[in-house]
Amino acid sequence: PAPPRLSVMNAQNVAIAAGAMATIGTIKYVFDKPSRTYVDGENTVGQEYDAWTQEGILEYYWGEHIHLGWYEDEELARGAGTLIGNKVKDFIEAKFDFVDKMREWSGATSPAKVLDVGCGIGGTSRHLAKTFGAGTSVTGITLSPNQVKRATELAAEQGVPNAQFQVMNALEMTFPDDTFDLVWACESGEHMPDKKKYVEEMVRVLKPGGKIVIATWCQRETPPEFTQKEKDNLQFLYEEWAHPYFISYEEYERLLKGTGAMESTGAEDWVKNTIASWRHSIWVGVWDPWPVVFAGPKVWYKTVREIVTLE
């Protein structure tokens, strides 16, 4: 009797192992297949931001500024943005610091009219409106009606009457030429299907002598050409987070100069002081998981997808 029992047990073990391998293979297939591909003309970006805004999870963890944060060298040396150093710098505070760094770098001091291109739920617009004061009017535009609604609610709650929001396509803005003293674009360029038109439209609505400041996700310059692994990673990111394509920050500078309207331009690589944001966004959820836990299976799935994409 012993040998047959052993055979049955071995068969069971093989079946369990085969089932486990099949499950792992299915999970890998699902997470390796991008789920939010950019589709030109279908407002893919606006729809995704509508969904994220309605869920509220992104706002809970990321705060009013749905963009990267700024980490000083000294803070990074103390472990800011890591699992153990999660509280060295507050994740949401880092985003306010990023806005202030952008503002300082722009050189703008008291612009009368500011345009925030890709304003999200308006965190940057409201912060700029408060910082510059009542003499400054800030207009934020986004493709997402839900973001406009939430941005307007928060402006009213915070008592910021000099910030207003509109649904508008940044590639087809309805503002007249020479309207704004400062045009601000934080992490919107990566979503644009025509980078040249994106830059030209911002320059068009900028007053002569005004300032443009752009912070955006970029790829490196070529040559050297991208390896196949780099191409695969870029393609996955495009198709998972609704991006048509990236360009280098050097190319953005060339596009600005190419308009013939900008007297001087400059560009810097801020990766070192911002890259910690990505892992930090995971660790804040590890330390405070309950909003995701109670949100249900759909949010669990989306959260795991985000972690896979970040890693």
Reported as a single tens digit per residue, the pLDDT across 126-178 is 999 999 999 999 999 999 999 999 999 999 999 999 999 999 999 999 999 99
Is the distance from CB of 91 to CB of 281 less than 8 angstroms? yes
Encode pLDDT of 92-128 as tens digits. Answer: 999 999 999 999 999 999 999 999 999 999 999 999 9
Encode pLDDT of 200-218 as tens digits. Answer: 999 999 999 999 999 999 9
How many angstroms separate the CA atoms of 263 and 12, rounded? 74
Residues in the chain: 311
Cα dihedral: 229, 193, 203, 145 (round 10): -120
DSSP 78: T
Work out the mean pLDDT of the chain and round it to a whole number: 89
Confidence of residue 221 (pLDDT cuts 50, 70, 90): very high
For residue 254, count CB atoms less than 10 angstroms from its CB and return exposed for 0-12, middle for 13-18, buried for 19 or more: middle
Distances (CA, A) of 42 to 46, 134, 207: 9, 38, 32
Confidence of residue 31 (pLDDT cuts 50, 70, 90): low
Strand pairing of 113-117 and 180-186?
A: parallel
In the chain, DSSP assigns E strands to 113-117, 137-142, 163-167, 180-186, 206-215
Q: Give me 214's structure tokens.
A: 């752009």
Q: Which pLDDT score is estimated for 32?
A: 59
The residue among 22 and 78 whose pLDDT is bigger is 78
Encode pLDDT of 249-275 as tens digits. Answer: 999 999 999 999 997 999 999 999 999
